[in-house]
């Protein structure tokens, strides 16, 4: 356990470096030294410092918060469902959150962004309940297969409604289309402020549940025998997952694959203990999204690719590997 935290400083150092590199990269690249200076000794008369503070730094923070939230949500879901394919994207939570946001803020033009993380979390919760309900009603119950299938069904259905809304309402389409690909470009600082307390709460909850999630990974009966209140644990984990997913979606839109990929990568290094998987997933997820966003901005520079498209392009092949190796 304490041995397991040995590589944490390394991961955090990489995260700090990735954070600065992310800030340095852009339409005008800034030397890393200037980034350090701006972060440690801000001087508003220097143009680069102003760019860093007003444009680059917020974007790096979006990446860190969203990356950490989504991978922790994925890790918890994989733990409590004992399903290697569990992820806020695959099990429909993300499209549920997006759907709720598109309807509330796009179609009905509600404008209080303070409620956006809550609306998104509510959408994620409803979608999760639907997906679980459908899977439970299937013969054989909520197996990895039925969960993934009902997740796909709900995603397709809600996706179709979003498309329909957009066909009927061009304004909302124009407003939402970038956000819906999962992008750090249009992310807004005010939404981050509203989402941040939820993220902190969701993370804290995830960390306190981690020990019990490890026990639950050995099956419900075993966990029960060890003294885990399984129903309570699952409910609390569900709250953490929808809050984290909702917050991330409200900041950067639906970003797939992070919640799926990162916990698996983390497990390769730290094993099966969720007291390690949760914090490492947060750090590695943040780092991963920073790197992805760097790629999104430099491969076709000066054109910027949507971050969500890059995560999907890199996540797709990994998904194939996962299916071949684990199922």
Interacting residues with another protein (CB under 8 A):
1, 82, 208, 211-212, 214-215, 217-222, 224-229, 267-268, 271-273, 326
Shortest distance in whole angstroms from residue 88 CB to another protein: 20
82 versus 177: smaller Cβ distance to another protein: 82
The whole-angstrom separation of Cα 172 and Cα 166 is: 6
Shortest distance in whole angstroms from residue 132 CB to another protein: 19
Shortest distance in whole angstroms from residue 129 CB to another protein: 21
136 versus 272: smaller Cβ distance to another protein: 272
CB 152 within 8 A of CB 276: no
174 versus 204: smaller Cβ distance to another protein: 204
> What radius of gyration, in Å, describes the C-alpha atoms of the chain?
20
Shortest distance in whole angstroms from residue 2 CB to another protein: 8
CB 98 within 8 A of CB 220: no
Q: How far is CA 35 from the centre of its chain?
A: 26
Contacts with 216 (C-beta within 8 Å, 6 or more apart), sequence order: 79, 80, 82, 223, 228, 230, 233, 234
Contacts with 171 (C-beta within 8 Å, 6 or more apart), sequence order: none
77 versus 294: smaller Cβ distance to another protein: 77
Shortest distance in whole angstroms from residue 261 CB to another protein: 16
195 versus 228: smaller Cβ distance to another protein: 228
37 versus 220: smaller Cβ distance to another protein: 220
Please tell me the number of Cα atoms within 13 Å of 218 on its side-chain side: 15
In three-state secondary structure terms, 188 is coil
131 versus 217: smaller Cβ distance to another protein: 217
The whole-angstrom separation of Cα 272 and Cα 261 is: 15
143 versus 224: smaller Cβ distance to another protein: 224
Shortest distance in whole angstroms from residue 211 CB to another protein: 7
Shortest distance in whole angstroms from residue 326 CB to another protein: 8
Shortest distance in whole angstroms from residue 150 CB to another protein: 22
79 versus 256: smaller Cβ distance to another protein: 79
The whole-angstrom separation of Cα 256 and Cα 314 is: 10
Token match 């953490």: residue?
240
Shortest distance in whole angstroms from residue 252 CB to another protein: 30
CB 39 within 8 A of CB 61: no
Closest CA to 286 of 48, 40, 36, 70: 70
Exposed, middle or buried, 44 (CB in 10 Å: 0-12/13-18/19+)? Answer: exposed
The whole-angstrom separation of Cα 101 and Cα 140 is: 34
Token match 């966003």: residue?
293
The whole-angstrom separation of Cα 36 and Cα 19 is: 10
């Amino acid at each position: 356990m304490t041995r397991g935290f040995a590589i944490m400083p390394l991961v955090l150092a990489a995260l700090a470096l990735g954070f600065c590199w992310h800030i340095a990269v852009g339409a005008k690249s800034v030397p890393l030294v200037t980034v350090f200076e701006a972060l440690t000794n801000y001087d508003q008369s220097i143009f680069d410092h102003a760019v860093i503070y007003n444009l680059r730094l917020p974007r790096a923070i979006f990446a860190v918060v969203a990356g950490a939230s989504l991978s922790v949500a994925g890790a918890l879901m994989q733990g409590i469902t004992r399903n290697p394919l569990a992820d806020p994207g695959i099990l429909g939570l993300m499209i549920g959150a997006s759907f709720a946001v598109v309807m509330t803020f796009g179609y009905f033009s509600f404008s209080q962004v303070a409620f956006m993380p809550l609306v998104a979390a509510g959408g994620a919760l409803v979608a999760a309940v639907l997906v679980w309900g459908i899977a439970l009603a299937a013969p054989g119950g909520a197996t990895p297969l039925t969960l993934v299938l009902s997740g796909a069904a709900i995603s397709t259905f809600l996706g179709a409604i979003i498309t329909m809304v957009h066909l009927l309402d061009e304004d909302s389409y124009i407003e939402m289309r970038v956000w819906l690909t999962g992008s750090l470009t249009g992310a807004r600082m005010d939404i981050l402020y509203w989402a941040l307390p939820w993220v902190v709460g969701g993370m804290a909850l995830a960390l306190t549940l981690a020990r019990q999630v490890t026990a639950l990974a050995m099956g419900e009966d075993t966990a029960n025998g060890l003294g885990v209140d399984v129903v309570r644990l699952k409910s609390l984990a569900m709250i953490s997952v929808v809050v984290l997913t909702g917050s991330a979606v409200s900041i950067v839109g639906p970003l797939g694959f992070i919640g799926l990929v990162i916990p698996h990568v983390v497990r390769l290094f730290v094993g099966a203990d969720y007291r390690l998987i949760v914090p490492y997933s947060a750090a590695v997820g943040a780092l991963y999204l920073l790197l992805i966003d760097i790629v999104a901005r430099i491969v076709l520079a000066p054109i910027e690719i949507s971050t969500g498209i890059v995560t999907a392009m890199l996540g797709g092949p990994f998904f194939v590997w996962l299916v071949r190796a684990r199922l």
